[in-house]
């Protein structure tokens, strides 16, 4: 039995709102499900598992119609879906009365239930969120019955507020495979037994690394996993990058260094950039130009001017410059306060230089 395990698609989400590439990312999030459906057809899989948060918010009927069209395009693939904390079931949820295609089973109950898929001798167990949080381990003590069927557990959780799970207990509960959602980075928790699929598209700066889905096979006789492969889907990654500067660094050098590094890493990716090191006190890096030229979601300039504070304090021990330098020596100084003091020293030095030139 061949299957695809996905989840946390967050259909309808608009990542990086306000950034020039936000609309592109929103479309990529929508396109992810179409790509997975296409893969299910091309790979001739038997079962598509969606482990919660198919939608980023409570889906409207028009959203359900879009998804239903995709599901109907693969009538030979059984599709099992649960709702997660983002698209949880409410009393007025449109999903409760929506006419899904015959190949779709949407678990709407808040307690564990199952559906038996006779053609592939597979029983899928699952339940949906009806509340924003589930703080209890509702699967504690659960055991799959020995009934000669492939048995798959589909659930959404893994942290203290969202169905805290005992992974070891799940791996020993008699299921052929436990398909988990909620954690947005792919992880095989117990080889051949338990895995989080991760989100097929990265959704914010914290979701670094590759994103995609799992493609697996279960032996019809042993009812055990025989293969479980991660398939990369997302073409864009969020990446953290630290650039080190020196007192010899200039704006031109910084731009050239970044151009080369981003070309190597992928100019299509989205970066969280940090500038660190000591710089010439007279150099102020042009951060606006960096933001305009590259896909930089966050940019932090942690560089510090390389002043000879010992010499400066000796020359200005009794004036305002000396006061600022003394303040810089205080322990546990915040980054913001430290930067303000550096600017203060710089401004006072330039004022002193200008007065000297006038006299």
Tokens read off for 75: 């009538």
Shared domain for 192 and 256, answered yes or no, is: no
Residue recorded with tokens 């889907």: 233
Shared domain for 122 and 155, answered yes or no, is: yes
Shared domain for 201 and 294, answered yes or no, is: no
Mean pLDDT, rounded, for 10-18: 96
- Segments in 49-204 forming alpha helices (H): 61-72, 167-171
Last residue of a domain, one of 232, 267, 288: 232
Residue 342: is its pLDDT beyond 70? no
Mean pLDDT, rounded, for 113-142: 97
Last residue of a domain, one of 201, 232, 263: 232
Strands (E), 157-269: 177-181, 187-190, 194-196, 212-218, 225-232, 238-245
Residue 129: is its pLDDT beyond 60? yes
What is the predicted pLDDT for the residue at 349?
63
User: Which stretch of DSSP H or E encloses residue 135?
Assistant: none
What is the predicted pLDDT for the residue at 75?
98
Q: How far is CA 38 from the centre of its chain?
A: 23
Shared domain for 208 and 299, answered yes or no, is: no
- Give Cβ neighbours of residue 97 (< 8 Å, ≥ 6 apart): none
Mean pLDDT, rounded, for 73-93: 97
Residue 357: is its pLDDT beyond 50? no
Instruction: Return the higher-pLDDT residue of 167 and 289.
Output: 167
Q: How far apart (Å, rounded) are the C-alpha atoms in residues 72 and 213?
A: 20
- How far is residue 177 from each of residues 50, 191, 195, 238, measured CA to CA in Å? 14, 10, 8, 30
Q: How far is CA 99 from the centre of its chain?
A: 32
Q: How far apart (Å, rounded) are the C-alpha atoms in residues 178 and 128?
A: 15
Last residue of a domain, one of 211, 232, 253: 232
Tokens read off for 302: 């942690």
Shared domain for 242 and 161, answered yes or no, is: no
What is the predicted pLDDT for the residue at 330?
67
Shared domain for 275 and 158, answered yes or no, is: no
User: Which stretch of DSSP H or E encloses residue 321?
Assistant: helix 320-328
What is the predicted pLDDT for the residue at 100?
97
What is the predicted pLDDT for the residue at 262?
87
Residue pair 7/51 in contact by the 8 Å Cβ criterion: yes
* Sign (positive or negative) of CA dihedral 186, 189, 192, 193: negative
Shared domain for 16 and 126, answered yes or no, is: yes
Q: What are phi and psi of 54, to 5 degrees?
A: -60, -40
Shared domain for 222 and 244, answered yes or no, is: no
Shared domain for 213 and 279, answered yes or no, is: no
- Give Cβ neighbours of residue 337 (< 8 Å, ≥ 6 apart): none
Q: Domain range holding 51?
A: 2-232
For residue range 178-234, what is the model confidence (pLDDT) as tens digits? 999 999 999 999 999 999 999 999 999 999 999 999 999 999 999 999 999 999 999
Residue 116: is its pLDDT beyond 60? yes
How many domains would you assign to the chain?
A: 2
What is the predicted pLDDT for the residue at 338?
66
Residue recorded with tokens 């007025």: 92
Shared domain for 149 and 179, answered yes or no, is: yes
Shared domain for 89 and 227, answered yes or no, is: yes
Report the candidate in 98, 31, 32, 29 with the shortest Cα–Cα distance to residue 57: 29
Shared domain for 219 and 247, answered yes or no, is: no
Average model confidence (pLDDT) across the chain:
91
Residue 158: is its pLDDT beyond 90? yes
For residue range 21-79, what is the model confidence (pLDDT) as tens digits? 999 999 999 999 999 999 999 999 999 999 999 999 999 999 999 999 999 999 999 99
What is the predicted pLDDT for the residue at 118?
97
Mean pLDDT, rounded, for 313-324: 73
């Amino acid at each position: 039995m061949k299957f695809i395990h996905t989840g946390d698609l967050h259909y309808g989400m608009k990542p990086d709102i306000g950034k020039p590439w936000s609309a592109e990312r929103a479309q990529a999030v929508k396109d992810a499900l179409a790509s997975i459906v296409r893969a299910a057809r091309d790979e001739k899989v038997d079962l598509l598992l969606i482990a919660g948060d198919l939608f980023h918010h409570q889906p409207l009927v028009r959203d359900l119609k879009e998804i239903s069209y995709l599901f109907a395009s693969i009538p030979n693939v059984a599709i099992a879906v649960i709702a997660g904390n983002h698209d949880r079931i409410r009393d007025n949820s449109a999903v409760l009365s929506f006419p899904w295609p015959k190949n779709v089973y949407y678990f709407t109950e808040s307690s564990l239930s199952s559906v038996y898929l006779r053609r592939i001798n597979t029983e899928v167990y699952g339940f949906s969120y009806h509340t924003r949080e589930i703080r209890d381990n509702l699967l504690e003590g659960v055991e799959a019955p020995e009934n000669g069927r492939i048995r798959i557990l589909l659930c959404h959780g893994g942290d203290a507020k969202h169905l805290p799970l005992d992974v070891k207990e799940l791996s020993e509960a008699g299921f052929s495979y436990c398909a988990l959602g909620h954690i947005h980075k792919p992880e095989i928790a117990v080889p051949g037994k338990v895995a989080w699929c991760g989100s097929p598209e990265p959704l914010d700066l914290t979701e670094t690394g590759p994103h995609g889905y799992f493609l697996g096979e279960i032996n019809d006789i042993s009812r055990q996993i025989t293969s479980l492969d991660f398939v990369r889907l997302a073409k864009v990654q969020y990446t953290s990058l630290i650039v080190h500067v020196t007192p010899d660094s200039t704006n031109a050098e910084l731009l050239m260094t970044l151009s080369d590094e981003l070309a190597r890493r992928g100019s299509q990716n989205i970066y969280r950039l940090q500038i660190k090191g000591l710089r010439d006190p007279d150099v102020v890096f042009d951060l606006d130009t960096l933001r305009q030229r590259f896909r930089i979601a966050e940019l932090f300039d942690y560089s510090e001017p390389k002043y000879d504070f010992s010499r400066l304090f000796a020359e200005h021990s009794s004036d305002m410059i000396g006061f600022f330098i003394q303040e810089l020596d205080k322990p546990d100084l915040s980054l913001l306060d430290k930067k303000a003091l550096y600017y203060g020293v710089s401004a006072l030095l330039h004022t002193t230089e200008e007065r000297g030139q006038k006299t």
